[in-house]
């Protein structure tokens, strides 16, 4: 009866998670917990970086913003919108000076997306520099 009660839930599809690390198994099919059967799982995972995490979150936000820009752009006919965006990007035209509401919204989102791209690049560059510094410190501690 217990199995019959939980059967609908047990039949739901599961998300499959594949891990490239496989523990050693003994002859009975159980995990080998001996000295030679252990795996240092932490050595397979890259160290957590707050900067890369923040960059990843900003990339998700940027992806949403780009989709919004595409939807707004589809509502504006013609190719003049690209000239207006160029003028806004170079600072010749301010977004408050644009009378057409969709064009103004597109220009604002375009500028925000550009700033997000710059911030992502800055974060990734800073993360790379920190990683290089840690590697240099490690090699220096070894006397190399």
Domain ranges of the chain: 49-141
**Nearest CA-CA partner of 66 in 76, 74, 54, 77:** 74
- At residue 9 the predicted structure's pLDDT band, cuts being 50, 70 and 90, is confident
The pLDDT score that the predictor gives to residue 98 is 93
Q: Where are the alpha helices (DSSP H) in 11-100?
A: 50-75, 80-90
CA distances, 124 to each of 24, 47, 51 (Å): 37, 15, 7
pLDDT, tens only, 20-74:
666 667 677 777 666 555 555 555 566 778 999 999 999 999 999 999 999 999 9
């Amino acid at each position: 009866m217990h199995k019959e009660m939980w059967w609908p839930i047990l039949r739901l599809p599961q998300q499959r998670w594949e891990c490239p690390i496989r523990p050693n198994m003994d002859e009975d099919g159980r995990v080998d917990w001996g000295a030679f059967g252990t795996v240092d799982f932490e050595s397979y995972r890259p160290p957590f970086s707050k900067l890369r995490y923040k960059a990843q979150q900003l990339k998700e936000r940027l992806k949403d913003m780009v989709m919004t820009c595409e939807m707004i752009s589809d509502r504006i006919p013609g190719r003049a919108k690209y000239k207006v965006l160029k003028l806004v990007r170079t600072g010749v035209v301010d977004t408050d000076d644009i009378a057409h509401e969709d064009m103004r919204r597109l220009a604002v989102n375009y500028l925000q997306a550009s700033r997000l791209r710059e911030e992502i690049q800055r974060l990734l560059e800073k993360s790379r520099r920190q990683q290089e510094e840690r590697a240099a410190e490690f090699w220096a501690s070894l006397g190399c």
